[in-house]
Amino acid sequence: MEINNHNIHRVIQEGKVHGTRSMGSAALNLCFVARGAAEAYFEYGLHCWDYCAGALIVEEAGGCVRDPGGGDLDLMARRVIGGSSVQVVENICKFLKPIEFERD
């Protein structure tokens, strides 16, 4: 996943991120965003069952969930970004290079 590593490094360096953490589960990572324990989470290559519940929890908590390529979340596109606000999501998306996967 060379492009994904590039995305992570670019967000850290150019996005002025203070730190990163991943709990190993997309749904759990999104729940941390919903709880306010993390400001944002993005991932590529997931399947819809990996993150659809977490995405709903973020939205119900008042956060923002979108497709990292821009636009509304497409559960079958196998990529997600969730954040505490629209501004956080849009700011991080500026640094991401889209990665395409075969749709679910």
Q: Residue 89 sits in a domain of what CATH number?
A: 3.40.190.80
Residues 20-66: tens digit of each pLDDT: 777 889 999 999 999 999 999 999 999 999 999 999 999 999 999 99
* pLDDT bracket for residue 98 (50, 70, 90): confident
Do the domain assignments include residue 12?
yes
Q: What pLDDT is stored for residue 99 in this prediction?
A: 87
Q: Output 7 or 60, whichever has higher pLDDT.
A: 60
Do the domain assignments include residue 49?
yes
Q: Could you give the 3-state DSSP secondary structure of residue 38?
A: coil
Range of the domain at 13: 2-93
Q: What pLDDT is stored for residue 91 in this prediction?
A: 92
Do the domain assignments include residue 46?
yes
Do the domain assignments include residue 102?
no
Residue 75 pLDDT more than 70?
A: yes
Residue 6 pLDDT more than 80?
A: no
d(CA 8, CA 6): 6
Do the domain assignments include residue 51?
yes
Work out how many domains the chain is built from and give that number: 1
Tokens (6 digits) for 90: 């849009």
Do the domain assignments include residue 83?
yes
Do the domain assignments include residue 104?
no
What are the C-alpha distances in Å from 16 to residues 46, 48, 57, 97? 26, 30, 27, 17
Do the domain assignments include residue 101?
no
Percent of the chain whose pLDDT exceeds 90: 69
Q: What pLDDT is stored for residue 4 in this prediction?
A: 65
d(CA 83, CA 39): 6
